[in-house]
Amino acid sequence: MPAKQKSEKKSGTHHLLARVIFLVVLAVIFGVSFIWTDQINRALGLTKVESAEYDGASTQEVINGTQNSDASLTLHFVDVGQGDACIIELPDDKKIIIDGGKDKEKEKLLTYIDEVIDPADEMKKEKESGGYGFDYAILTHSDEDHCGGLDDVLNEYGSRVFYRPNEAATYKGYSDPGKSSLLQDYTEKSTLAYMRAIDAGYKGETAYVSNANDEVSSIIKPDGIDESDPCYYELNFYTPIRNSYKDFNDYSPVMILSYQGKSIALSGDAEKTAEAEFVEAAKSGSGKYSIFTDDYTVDVIKLGHHGSRTSSSEDYLETLTTQSSRKDVLAIASCGFGNSYGHPHAETLTRLNDMGFSADNVLRTDQNGTIVLAVRQDESGVFALFYGANAVRVEKSAMELGSIDVRWREICITIWIFAAVVLIVQPIASEFNKKSKKRKR
């Protein structure tokens, strides 16, 4: 082979290799970008938000009805984006806050408390006079999307009693004020958000480590009110059962709030490990777990970990409901609109559907905003569960080709295929044609 032909062949091989490397690098870049698919879609205007009517009561209607009731219990699952924040107004006028969302979303929570929970500034006045706006504050675990905004709420309103996980706050040498009271084998968490939440929580009168085994702290109920009184309620902690967990999420207590024959299950970010412990204890039927018979059912389940596939296991849901009750049970998911985690996961929603839960009873803060539940008397005087949500937000593609929605993922795949055709397929085809013509000559 002449030297010139060898040189051209070698050069052609190098060019082909360079093109292949370029395509590989491009594929890696596109693949990594898929992590931020939702954000890129919004940045490029590839999605739009449409509103559809929610066929039910609004949050304000539920709040108005509760305010006109002599004895009622109200839960507010506040829309704080990708995080958790729940406020409970009890029938004896006490108030509980469970988690506080992310720090960057704290204004949503503070504004909601100011405008809905404390419009007459009674809680603020109570704090200013040396008291506490909240009677109980429960920090389920140390993740920032649960504790990030809690310190601001507690610093502004205060809480008489503070519940915390068995995790020592150790940020930059911080001296955890409750370290001496932590249970054996506690773990450590070194984040600024957790440190601030712990610091604010210990400005109250009493602090407890969440512990289902402690008979004193594992139940919240009104003082001096008999069980037959219309204002009687109970909030029971059924986990954590162990002192230490590898996953911080599993410190989140499984709690059940009961009032006038209605029950609401709350569980923070408890994963399948903590749920399995709860299920095992429930099956034992001993002590306070004896209520979990084959006929037991709650009326509302706050889905664990924002509706993640790693929570709300089948065994857990079966323990809390019966086959016949599931069609009427409400499932609440607290999650952010267009969140990068994909919460609630499709696997969780499929599991609920397969087990008999109604899709119409799955309410989500990413679609409905703040969700309000209330247990109060209806027109006939019977205590019933009322709930309200707002207009459903639906995310759709803004760029359409016929019936195909075009988004970032499809754009990347199209670009890569086009590049592969131009850089690899077309040159190879051209070279093949050249050789064919030479052979014919």
Split at pLDDT 50, 70, 90, the class of 438 is low
| From 11-15, 51-55, 318-322, the region with the lowest mean pLDDT | 11-15
DSSP H or E run through 285: none
Rounded distance between C-alpha atoms, residue 131 and residue 222, angstroms? 18
Distances in Å between the Cα of 357 and the Cα atoms of 53, 282, 325, 363 are 22, 21, 9, 12
Residue 406, pLDDT above cutoff 90? no
Residues 313, 432, single domain; the answer is: no
- DSSP-assigned letter for residue 129: T
pLDDT of residue 139: 98
Residues 353, 422, single domain; the answer is: no
Tokens of 72: 């009622």
Query: Strand (E) positions, 45-92?
Result: 47-52, 73-77, 86-89
Residues 304, 356, single domain; the answer is: yes
Residue 205, pLDDT above cutoff 60? yes
pLDDT of residue 440: 62
Domains in the chain, number: 2
Structural domain includes residue 407: no
Rounded distance between C-alpha atoms, residue 297 and residue 322, angstroms? 6
Rounded distance between C-alpha atoms, residue 350 and residue 263, angstroms? 24
Residues 288, 323, single domain; the answer is: yes
Q: Which residue has the tokens 């006028």?
A: 93
| From 295-304, 315-324, 332-341, the region with the lowest mean pLDDT | 332-341
The amino acid occupying position 396 is K
Residue 403, pLDDT above cutoff 70? no
Tokens of 291: 């209520």
Residues 269, 200, single domain; the answer is: yes
Tens-digit pLDDT profile for residues 347-359: 999 999 999 999 9
Structural domain includes residue 391: yes
Split at pLDDT 50, 70, 90, the class of 302 is very high
- DSSP-assigned letter for residue 253: P
Residue in 60, 77, 96, 146 with CA at minimum distance from that of residue 302: 77
Residues 373, 421, single domain; the answer is: no
Domain of 61: which CATH number?
A: 3.60.15.10
Residues 155, 204, single domain; the answer is: yes
Residues 39, 127, single domain; the answer is: no
Residues 325, 426, single domain; the answer is: no
- As a three-state string, the secondary structure of 394-428 is EEEECCEECCEECCHHHHHHHHHHHHHHHHHHHHH
Written as one string, the DSSP assignment of 319-369 is HH--TTTGGG-EEEE---TT-TT-SSPHHHHHHHHHHT--GGGEEEHHHHS
Structural domain includes residue 322: yes
Residue 433, pLDDT above cutoff 70? yes
Residues 115, 35, single domain; the answer is: no
Tokens of 331: 């499932």
Residues 327, 423, single domain; the answer is: no
How many other CB atoms sit within 10 Å of the CB of residue 112? Answer: 18
Residue 270, pLDDT above cutoff 60? yes
Structural domain includes residue 11: no
- The rounded mean pLDDT for the chain is 91
Rounded distance between C-alpha atoms, residue 194 and residue 373, angstroms? 29
Structural domain includes residue 292: yes
Model-wide pTM > 0.85: no
pLDDT of residue 392: 87
Structural domain includes residue 23: yes
pLDDT of residue 441: 59
SS3 content of the chain, % helix, strand, coil (to 5): 40, 20, 40
Tens-digit pLDDT profile for residues 124-180: 999 999 999 999 999 999 999 999 999 999 999 999 999 999 999 999 999 999 999
Structural domain includes residue 403: no
Structural domain includes residue 4: no
- 242, 253 Cβ separation under 8 angstroms: no
Residue 81, pLDDT above cutoff 90? yes
Tens-digit pLDDT profile for residues 13-39: 667 888 889 999 999 999 888 887 767
Residues 102, 185, single domain; the answer is: yes
- Domain region containing 22: 17-46+417-440
pLDDT of residue 70: 81
pLDDT of residue 348: 96
- 149, 105 Cβ separation under 8 angstroms: yes
